[in-house]
Each structure stands twice: as C-alpha cells, then as structure tokens.
A = this chain, B = another copy of it.
Amino acid sequence: MLILGVDPGLTRCGVGVIEAGASRRLSFVHVDVIRSSPDTPQDLRLLKIYNGLVEKIERFVPDVVSIERVFAQENRSTVLGTAQVAGLAMLAAAQRGIPTALHTPSEVKLAITGSGTAPKKQVEYMVMRILNLNEPPKPADAADALGQAICHALRPAGAIQGGEREEHLTPAQRQWAQAVQASKHGRGPQKRDM
C-alpha cells in the first residue's frame, strides 16, 4: 500500500510517500516540500500548492492521502492558511477518487514513538530509524509529512477517531483513543472542525 502523507502549510507544505508492505514493513519512497512565497497573493499561493499536490498525487497514485488534522486554536497567525492547504489536499485526492485520512500530531507521535507527547527530535529520529534513512529528513515539514504517512500505516487496526466509545478496545487501541482524547481536551472543542 502506497501512502502519501501531507504536512499542510502555505509557505512550506511537506509531502512524504512511503510503501507499507507485509508485516507492517515500511519503506521510504519520496519526500519533498512544496513552497509558496509570502509575497505572492493568497489565491496564487493556493494555486501553486494545489498544483504541487496534484503533481505528487498523479505521479505516485497513492492508495490513501493522509493529512495532518488542523485545530482552530493552533498557531493563530497561520492556522487558516494551513486549514486551506489541508482542504486543497483533500480536494486533490477526492477529485481522483483516492480516500483521505486525518491524523493529529499526537496520533503521529504515539504511532511513531509510543508517546503522544514525544519531543520533535525524538519523532525525527524514529522516522529516520523506521524508514532506514541515513539522516533525519529535512526540513521539519518533510519529516512531519513522512511521520503522517507512517502514522497511517502503523495505526492500530480499528483505530478509532475521537468521540467513539472505548469499550472492548485492545490496549493499543485504547492508548490511541486516549491520545485522540488528550489532543481534544488540550485544544477545546475544535476536534470536529474539519
């Protein structure tokens, strides 16, 4: 299964592609950052990022596009642009009949390091380890996009999204659900914004 991860951003939008084989063996396929200049009008920035995402999706034809879930209270000066780019990634996938998934940063950290609150360096190190890279992917947006793809591959079977019941979960599923809940409570009731 080919997974294309997106770390949405208007200035830098990370894209990472991995192959998830048998026994959850993951291999690195591609990583890149699509950029747009803050000096460019907003509509042309969105067009540039969208065209870059379409180019990646059409080149790799992923089975799923996994995108970082954006919260309304995050880093306010850029959150709307980030949400718009996440929307463009969903659009570009939906136009091609490719399913999309959304994972929070906490879910990504948990899936990759075993802790939903792991520091960034630890996540980068584990991304490098999991994908057998010689060094951590740069810039950070590239690592986050690969992390998003890895998270989608490693999420526990039947992983639930926020709001569903935790009855009869395996320990891994319960830990996952708790990470989802924690990110909800830490950020107020914005979970279902997008």
Cross-chain contact B81 with A193 (CB below 8 angstroms): yes
Within 8 A of B (CB), among A5-38: none
> Does A115 count as interface, using CB distance less than 8 angstroms?
no
| Total residues of chain A contacting the partner, CB 8 A | 36
> Does A83 count as interface, using CB distance less than 8 angstroms?
yes
> Does A176 count as interface, using CB distance less than 8 angstroms?
no
> Does A91 count as interface, using CB distance less than 8 angstroms?
yes
Q: Which residues of B contact A188 (CB under 8 A)?
A: 76
> If A72-B72, A84-B84 touch, does A43 touch B78 (CB 8 Å cutoff)?
no
Q: Which 10 A-B pairs have the closest CB atoms?
A: A84-B87, A43-B90, A80-B193, A47-B94, A43-B94, A80-B83, A43-B100, A80-B194, A83-B83, A72-B76
